[in-house]
Amino acid sequence: MERVIEPEDFRTIYSQAYAGDRFWQELSAPGGELFEWDPTSTYIREAPFSYIREAPFFRDLPLEPTPPTDILGARVLLLLGDSVTTDHISPAGSISPYSPAGRWLIEHGVEPVDFNSYGARRGNHEVMVRGTFANIRLRNALASREGGWTRHFPSGEELTVYEAAMRYRAEGVPVIVLAGKEYGSGSSRDWAAKGPALLGVRAVIAESFERIHRSNLVGMGILPLQFLPGESVHSLGLNGTEVYDILGLSDGLQVHKRLRVRARTAEGTVREFEVIARLDASVELEYYRHGGLLQYVFRRLLQEAHSG
């Protein structure tokens, strides 16, 4: 290496590193200081800090956070078992033309041969929210088949998870997820928290959480709640058809505060149990109070801009 490599070789090569080849140089690119977002793009939608009114995480965002309130009259969007991975929650693989994401792409002029994958379209929230809980191997106890299906209550109609979530939203009904052990295991996929947040999931009640995914849920304003040791969906006799109230949020949150959950069946039976709010640090209390990490940072930037 000492005989054949000279420092000048590196200087020559790296001085042209950004020039690119002929094909790169022939690409046309817009000018200006800001990127010109294409509203018709099916790959990349408007970025949060460029067009605030277009970003789903900042729509109708008040300048000051509103205090957390109890979650009342919630329905279960999914009833899941143990070891639900982030790929079950937000798959990265192929997009079915019969799925909500596939139908959205077709409606916007994309042929199935050009669908690519969820992983390739992770810059488009319209695709990713429709792909949330759409893994074909997901087992939801509320549905009669595997995949991204669930049951809407009280109608009992079986719908895709996305369709059910949108119906609950139109009805003004908050939704939660019930799960077993190791919820959110696998890779620390950000859309596994972003997607449920956009579906309207307010809380996940599980026996345990994967460490990073629990933190990501808090960062997206979703409350991770843990059953007390020895308790679970099965031991408490829950089946996901109940209406849920999560009480104790409105009178102040603390690290690992115990909250009371009340589940009412259609027959009028009420089951009450306690859960642990897995807000593990004081800064997470702030994130949750703001509705998530993005909102927290955004408001901090606004405060600094006004004070400066």
Tens digits of per-residue pLDDT, 262-306?
999 999 999 999 999 999 999 999 999 999 999 999 999 988 888
* Across 47-68, average pLDDT: 69
Cα separation, 195 vs 281, whole angstroms = 24
pTM for this prediction:
0.89
At 308, the pLDDT band (50, 70, 90 cuts) reads low
pLDDT reading at 45 higher than 90: no
Tens digits of per-residue pLDDT, 112-161?
999 999 999 999 999 999 999 999 999 999 999 999 999 999 999 999 99
At 38, the pLDDT band (50, 70, 90 cuts) reads confident
Tens digits of per-residue pLDDT, 152-182?
999 999 999 999 999 999 999 999 999 999 9
5 vs 100, residue with greater confidence: 100
Tens digits of per-residue pLDDT, 67-115?
999 999 999 999 999 999 999 999 999 999 999 999 999 999 999 999 9
Dihedral over alpha carbons 139, 148, 129, 153 (to 10 degrees):
-90
A 10 A CB-CB count for 114 gives: 9
- Where b means 16+ CB within 10 Å and e means fewer, 258-295 reads ebebebeeeeeeeeebebebbbeeeebbebbbbbbbbb
Backbone angles phi, psi at 303, to 5 degrees: -65, -40
CA 61 to chain centre: 18
Dihedral over alpha carbons 42, 47, 52, 54 (to 10 degrees):
10
Tens digits of per-residue pLDDT, 216-255?
999 999 999 999 999 999 999 999 999 999 999 999 899 9
Backbone angles phi, psi at 214, to 5 degrees: -60, -45
